Amino acid sequence: MSVSIDKTNSVVLSADHITKTIGAKNIVDNLSFDIHQGEIVGLLGPNGAGKTTTIRMIVGLIQMSKGDVKVCGHSVRHQFVKAIRHIGGIIENPEFYPYMSGFDNLKQYQRMSEGVTESRIHEVIKLVGLQDAIHKKVRAYSLGMRQRLGIAQALLHEPSILILDEPTNGLDPAGIREMRDYLKLIAREEGIAILVSSHLLSEMELMCSRVIVIQEGKLVTERSIGSEVQTDQVTISFRVNKTQPALEAVHQLNDVRVIGTDTNRSEIILQLKEEIIPQIIKILGDADVSIYRIEESKQSLEEEFLKWTGGNRIA
């Protein structure tokens, strides 16, 4: 299932019904989503929702119980080496040699990887804004600088997608802002996709163009953010018997933006001019989709997020 902000951009990563079962429990349960070139996507959910587990499966740190992930068309399950080449990731705290400079750490990494040039090292240092500190020893780095050095390292082999698990954890407000600005810059300058996890909606709203919300391992909803609602447009949710065929049918219309899906409630959420609603009803009928309810949605994203996640444990 994909809700793309820009349907013209190519899919870089596609998660297809990924599941992780431990004991009798699915800690990640049938999760599917696509990530497109150039977008920053937030994987959002309360503590214990399954964000880290999802990311660990994508980067091959743990095996999937079911499903697969394709990265630039390569299967993580069956073509791991080809798939992982396109991923730059920081999953746990990046490890560096503290007694070496940031620069020497990157050089060390270069020696261990193929095809990383000296000029690429300078390029990534500039991208993460570490020019002034790069010859200092890593043990003198702040947490924010260390994180940025980690991102520089993850970018060295020119990945198509950068995957970061809670990159702002532990940073102070200035550090969080800095990280956000650098990630936006990287997405723009490198033209790559970024997937970041977080449990903070407020942070994701400032950083991401789209959020994938999960809870107890399941997809709750996908939402585009930051899009201004034009005054002649309304946000309408359609409760249907099957969301995927409904989305496919709606994609045929040009003047409709899919801004979300709510799998639990079997809803698709569209932004459109109200004159188009009869056309939507017709097109869904033609696609054999039954409509149970049509409602205007006026809630803020935060109210909805609290509703989806039960309103607990969200800072």
Ligand X SMILES: Nc1ncnc2c1ncn2[C@@H]1O[C@H](COP(=O)(O)OP(=O)(O)OP(=O)(O)O)[C@@H](O)[C@H]1O
What residue ranges bind ligand X (CB under 6 A)? 22, 27, 45, 47-53, 199
CB closer to ligand X, 165 vs 267? 165
CB closer to ligand X, 27 vs 284? 27
Give the shortest CB-226-to-ligand X separation in angstroms: 23
Which candidate, 46, 301, 83, places its Cα nearest to that of 198?
A: 46
**Residue written as token pair 């039954």:** 290
Element (H, E) at 70: strand 66-71
Give the shortest CB-218-to-ligand X separation in angstroms: 12
Give the shortest CB-127-to-ligand X separation in angstroms: 27
Measure the CA dihedral 289/294/300/302, to 10°. -50
Rounded to 5°, the CA angle 207-211-212 comes to: 145
Task: Give rounded-to-5 percent helix, strand, coil for the chain.
Answer: 35, 30, 40
Whole-angstrom Cα distance, residue 87 to residue 13?
9
CB closer to Mg ion, 43 vs 138? 43
**Residue written as token pair 């249907």:** 240
What are the phi and psi torsion angles at 177 (to 5°)?
Answer: -65, -40
Q: Which does 27 bind (CB under 5 to 8 A by kind): Mg ion, ligand X, none?
A: ligand X
CB closer to Mg ion, 27 vs 124? 27
Q: Which residue is nearest to Mg ion (CB)?
A: 52
Give the shortest CB-111-to-ligand X separation in angstroms: 33
Which candidate, 222, 212, 228, places its Cα nearest to that of 260?
A: 222
Q: Which residues in 98-132 are b (16+ Cβ under 10 Å) and which e?
A: eeebbbbbbeebbeeeeebeeebbebbbebbebee
Q: Which does 22 bind (CB under 5 to 8 A by kind): Mg ion, ligand X, none?
A: ligand X
Give the shortest CB-51-to-ligand X separation in angstroms: 3
Give the shortest CB-187-to-ligand X separation in angstroms: 22
CB closer to ligand X, 41 vs 258? 41
Q: Which does 20 bind (CB under 5 to 8 A by kind): Mg ion, ligand X, none?
A: none
Measure the CA dihedral 216/217/219/220, to 10°. 10
Tokens matching residue 86: 């396109």
Which positions from 233 through 272 interact with Mg ion, judged by CB under 5 A?
A: none
Binding-site string for Mg ion from residue 12 to residue 51, where x marks contact by CB under 5 A and - marks none: ---------------------------------------x
The span of 21-29, 52-60, 73-81, 88-96 binding Mg ion (CB under 5 A) equals 52-60
Residue 52 near Mg ion by CB under 5 A? yes
Residues engaged in binding Mg ion (CB under 5 A): 51-52
